[in-house]
Amino acid sequence: MPVVRAQEESPIDLVGLLPADLVVLTTSLDAEPFRANQLWHWIYHRGVTDFSTMTNLPETFRKKLSERCVVGRPQISQTITAASDFTHKWLMRFPDGKEVETVYIPKDNRGTLCLSSQIGCTLACRFCYTGTQKLTRNLSAAEIVGQVLKVNDVYNCWKHSCCKKILSNVVMMGMGEPLLNYNNVITALKILTNIKGLAVSQRRVTVSTAGVVPMIQLLGKEISCNLSISLHAATDAVRDVLMPINKRYPLAALMAACRGYQAVRNAHRITFEYIMLRGINDSEADARAIVRLVNGLHCKFNLIPFNQWPGAPYACSTADATYRFATILRDSGYAAPIRAARGRDIHAACGQLCSAFFSGSGGSESEREWTVPNVPVSTGLYIQ
């Protein structure tokens, strides 16, 4: 009779574990709790993935780590660099073969890293290329943090190195809706902003949402980051068409959530992202309606020229219409810069990310199913 072997357990990825979780893991491997701090330092301060080189850890502990754990990284499938502005876009592949896009936008000796939170998206915003790619799954906290670690590897941006590039800002504006992967996004951000590791300033972290109302105020209670709202319309009638999420959470509910967020984080100015679509949302009447909509909020606007993608149903507003729109907002007391397109020539600009673009498998989905995640954030060892 053949011997049936139990299926081997997958190794535990130490990336994505909070400090308290790392202590639990360390003690479960019969090591002293303080070893967790040393392990954290190797992973997030020095960028080391090989346990055998973590020389201040006992040899027996390192052996157990190598048998049961990994310090994970996504693999880079493709790299594209924009000739126009040196924006970098990577197609990052995870162990199950699924892929997302990550974008680095340089400026002088610093830069912004745009992270993905889901593979595909359920929200089907009509102006967004990611919305044509059906949701495959959420990214784990390890996979979100792993994008940053991999870029640090590429540029050798670890604190012990002489790095010429600095990842100064992190924005959750890549593929997916961050607040529909709330637990993993919050865990990842707590790791990225931990002062004993990567130490990204919370004031240099921005979470963007299409308007998942129940999670917005909770975000303000969890972490002191910046909030960006994808607004894109002044009325429910237009926003219902552009962003189907508006049918569940219309503008009145969204504005109430923003006011609730500022009640918690009153020093934080909310940014409203507004894509300029010719003949759709770019009239002077639209601009005046926007001013009425946000009355009383401490906020600013980013006006984004629409970035074309294959099969896109819209065109970019004219420069004249965009200028008039911005002028009305500015005259009403709001900052309203017109954002320069970065990485447009490599499909790395706002609204252009779609990992299926590389394989040509992107396609529209008329019906999307999605649910608001359960809260609070898990503090267990194995974070899903």
Catalytic site residues?
101, 350
Residue among 16, 20, 8 nearest 73 (CA): 16
Residue among 124, 126, 143, 252 nearest 187 (CA): 143
Report helix, strand or coil for 246: helix
Pure H helices in the chain: 19-28, 35-40, 59-68, 141-155, 182-192, 213-222, 236-242, 251-264, 284-293, 319-331
Query: How far is C-alpha 324 from the geometric centre of its chain's CA atoms?
Result: 31
**Sign of the alpha-carbon torsion through 191, 195, 198, 200:** positive
Longest dimension (CA), the chain: 83
Number of other CB atoms surrounding residue 209 within 10 Å:
25
Residues 160, 97: Cα–Cα separation, whole Å: 32
Question: Distances in Å between the alpha carbon of 204 and those of 164, 170, 221, 269?
Answer: 19, 6, 17, 13
On whether the CB atoms of residues 250 and 207 are closer than 8 A, the answer is no
Using the CB atoms, write b or e for 91-121: b if 16+ within 10 Å.
bbbbeeebbbbbbbbbeeeebbbbbbbbbbb
On whether the CB atoms of residues 306 and 314 are closer than 8 A, the answer is yes
Give the gyration radius of the chain's Cα atoms. Answer: 22
Question: Distances in Å between the alpha carbon of 52 and those of 63, 66, 70, 129?
Answer: 8, 8, 12, 43
Cis preceding-peptide flag for 33 (omega within 30 of 0): no
